[in-house]
Amino acid sequence: MRAIAAVALNTFREAIRDRVLYLILAVALAVVGGSRFVAMLTVGSEVKIVKDLGLAAVSIFGLLIAVFVGVSLVSKEIERRTVFTLLAQPVARWQFIAGKYAGLLLVLAANVVLVGGAVLAAVALMGESPLALVPAIVLILVELSVVAAFSVLFSSFTNPILAAVGTVAVYVAGHLSWSFDLLRKRVATAAARTLCDVLHAVLPNLDRLDVKADAVHGVAIPAGTFAAAAAYGAFYAIAVVVLACIVFERREFA
């Protein structure tokens, strides 16, 4: 556990020195800050626009961090050969991967707290209670934890470009996984229907973690639904990280 914490802390420190992270954070905060001006373009509820833009900023810029920071986490260590120094220490390969993932999760959590906090403050300044947005922000973090797990998985066996493409593909597929349900009703053969079921079950159902629309309109998210969605995302992320550990254990370095 100590080894994982050490790698995680190191990963976090390294990430927060990265200029790309600051650029993403600055743009995200600018979007949240500028949302009040954008809201002036609307006719009607300005607060809704501020909430929508704010939550989208938390989600989209979090995704950028998960992809751009995550995909180079392992490959950079391999490229610089620092992985050999690290693995020569009493650190198992799986601990290295788990630590990298935990470090990335810390970065994402810091981003969500910072940008999400700015959104809550912006909404509060407009005279509305921002509390209904909190479950949506928490579930955005859960969603990002799943995406980050995939970026670490891809990073553990391929180069950053392919890893980024793979992670974005999983994100897109995850948000469209509901369509397999529709497709299932239209295909004729049992084999095709089974394939639809399998793909729907295997791909991350990221739409299940999306409660932004409810939160923006002040619709209370049932505690059971929230807990089930959070548990689904957490378990899914753990499964992907375990897979990444297995892949990395079997990897041979030249």
Partner 1 sequence: MSGALRAGLLLATAVLGTGLARARLVALDAPSSGSKDLLYLPNGKYLRAASLGQAPLAADLVYFWAIQFYSDYGRADRFRFTEHVFGSVIPELDPRFIDPYWLGALILTTEGGDLEGGLRLLDLGAEKNPREWVFPFLAGWECDHAKEYDRAAAYFDRAARIPDAPAALVRLVAGMRARGGNLREAIAKWEEVLTDPRGDDASHAIAERQVRTLTVRADLQDLEAAVLTFRERRGAPPRRLDELVHAGILTRLPLDPDGKPYRYDPRTGAVTSDASRVLGS
- Applying CB under 8 A, which of residues 36, 76, 175, 200 lies at the interface with partner 1? 175
Complex with partner 1: residue 197 or 207, whichever CB lies closer: 207
List the one residue out of 219, 212, 216, 220 whose CA is nearest residue 45. Answer: 216
Establish if 116 lies at the interface with partner 1 (CB under 8 A).
no
Q: Which stretch binds partner 1 (CB under 8 A): 47-55, 100-108, 153-161, 223-231?
A: 47-55
The contacts of residue 26 (CB under 8 Å, 6+ apart) are none
Contact set for partner 1, span 137-156 (CB under 8 A): 143
Complex with partner 1: residue 39 or 163, whichever CB lies closer: 39
* Cα(153)–Cα(151) distance, integer angstroms: 5
* Cα(214)–Cα(226) distance, integer angstroms: 12
Contact set for partner 1, span 180-239 (CB under 8 A): 206-207, 210, 212-213, 216-217, 219
How far the first Cα of the chain sits from its last, in Å, is 28
- Minimum distance of partner 1 from residue 93's CB (angstroms): 34
The contacts of residue 110 (CB under 8 Å, 6+ apart) are 16
* Cα(128)–Cα(117) distance, integer angstroms: 14
- Minimum distance of partner 1 from residue 50's CB (angstroms): 10
Contact set for partner 1, span 154-173 (CB under 8 A): 171-172
Establish if 134 lies at the interface with partner 1 (CB under 8 A).
no
Complex with partner 1: residue 39 or 152, whichever CB lies closer: 39
Two structure tokens written together for 37? 């001006």
Sign of CA dihedral 238, 242, 248, 249: positive
- Minimum distance of partner 1 from residue 220's CB (angstroms): 13
Establish if 59 lies at the interface with partner 1 (CB under 8 A).
yes
Establish if 53 lies at the interface with partner 1 (CB under 8 A).
yes
- Minimum distance of partner 1 from residue 142's CB (angstroms): 13
Two structure tokens written together for 163? 């890893």
* Cα(180)–Cα(170) distance, integer angstroms: 14
* Cα(22)–Cα(3) distance, integer angstroms: 27
Residues that bind partner 1 (CB under 8 A): 38, 41-45, 48-49, 52-53, 55-56, 59-60, 143, 171-172, 175-176, 179, 206-207, 210, 212-213, 216-217, 219
